[in-house]
Amino acid sequence: MVLGKYREAIETASTTTWEEVSEYPLGKKYGLVSITPVFDKAGNCIRMVGSVHDVTEKKEQELAINKVNAERERAIAELIDRNKTLEQYTYVVSHNLRAPLANIIGLVDILRSFNIEAADIRDTINDISDSILKLDNVVNDLNAILQVRERNTELKELVSLQQIIDDISLSIADVIKQENVTIKARCDVDNIYSIRSHLYSIFYNLILNSIKFRNADEPPIITIDCIGGGENTTIILRDNGKGIDLKQHSGKMFRLYKRFDTSVKGKGIGLFLVKTQVEDLNGSITVKSEIGRGTEFTISLPNNKD
């Protein structure tokens, strides 16, 4: 190998460098070898000038880093594989349960149509029906979550935030009129590259959440600010609703099936979906709130086109 490097240096008339490893009584040593050929006037190589630098410490650091990186890549690969397996399992469970659940719900409806006089049998049928409907709701929720994950493969496009807010306002116009809701949108940045279905769902869930948990003493006012600049677009959504006791519930805000106000109908899936979709867009979401003083959500989304 050394003779080959010497020939390479002579043939190319240039400095040649390579790395050697040697075993010594005190352990393995790594050396960075460099040689430069010296020629006479006739073009004959008359000597070689070389040096060897001990790079053992640097090499050991590189090997340690490479080992850590390899372990990390292996861990990431295992995590991705487990996540795919979990998604497939969830997909099978949610989809394969739909048909038998629909059959059972239909059979219970048929039983209810019979003229059954025994009270205990009627109560049993009602209990079965309630349990099946709850299970059906869980399956529907699983499907909703799966659909969110599947949409993450959609390509990003130039999306108008103002247009999304306007579309949502139009789609829930009856609710806005009924509850006397005011939506104020201020967008100093409008178009961003993102997944439109994700953005629509994020705004839709947060706006409906603000209306649902409105303050009974005053009409709902929802303010949306879209702020650009730098590498991120910031979306701030504020309301004057009931507010949330974050000291008690901050760690549970975005968990699945977590509810903080049982006086209002809901399943505790909206904020979970919002956080899932924000993170799918490589963004982040934070919340500020006080009881009786409304809630403020701040979302940061990257501006890049990747």
Instruction: DSSP for 13-79, please give it.
Output: TS-EEEEEEEEETTEEEEEEEEEEEEE-TTS-EEEEEEEEEE-HHHHHHHHHHHHHHHHHHHHHHHH
Q: What is the tens place of the pLDDT at every residue in 265-294? A: 656 677 888 888 898 888 999 999 888 888
Tokens of 162: 């103002």
Q: Compute the distance between CA of residue 16 and CA of residue 5 in angstroms, rounded to an integer.
A: 7
The span from the CA of 73 to the CA of 52, in Å, is 34
Place 51 in a pLDDT band, splitting at 50, 70 and 90.
very high
pLDDT of 116 over the 80 cut:
no
Cα 25 off chain centre by: 52
| pLDDT at position 7 | 93
Q: What percent of the chain has pLDDT over 70?
A: 80
Q: At residue 183, what are phi and psi to the nearest 5 degrees?
A: -115, 120
- Provide the pLDDT for residue 251: 66
Which pLDDT score is estimated for 273? 85
pLDDT attached to residue 119: 72
The confidence score (pLDDT) of residue 106 equals 80
Instruction: Kindly report the number of other CB atoms within 10 A of residue 299's CB atom.
Output: 24
- Total number of residues shown for the chain: 306
Model confidence at 195, pLDDT cuts 50, 70, 90, reads: confident
Count Cα neighbours of 258 within 13 Å in the Cβ-side half-sphere. 13
Overall pTM > 0.75:
no
Beta strands 221-227 and 182-187 are parallel
Query: Region 150-172: what's the mean pLDDT?
Result: 82
Query: Is the per-residue pLDDT at 305 higher than 60?
Result: no
Mean pLDDT of the chain: 83
Of the given ranges (22-26, 105-109, 176-180, 257-261), which has the lowest mean pLDDT?
257-261
Domains of the chain, earliest start first:
2-54 (3.30.450.20), 63-151 (1.10.287), 157-302 (3.30.565.10)
Closest by Cα among 257, 285, 277, 281 to 147: 277
**Coil, helix or strand at residue 298:** strand
**Pairing assessment for the beta strands 221-227 and 295-302 based on DSSP bridges:** unpaired
Residue-wise pLDDT for 57-108, tens only, equals: 999 999 899 999 998 888 888 888 777 766 666 666 666 666 777 777 787 7
pLDDT of 81 = 74
pLDDT at 26: 85
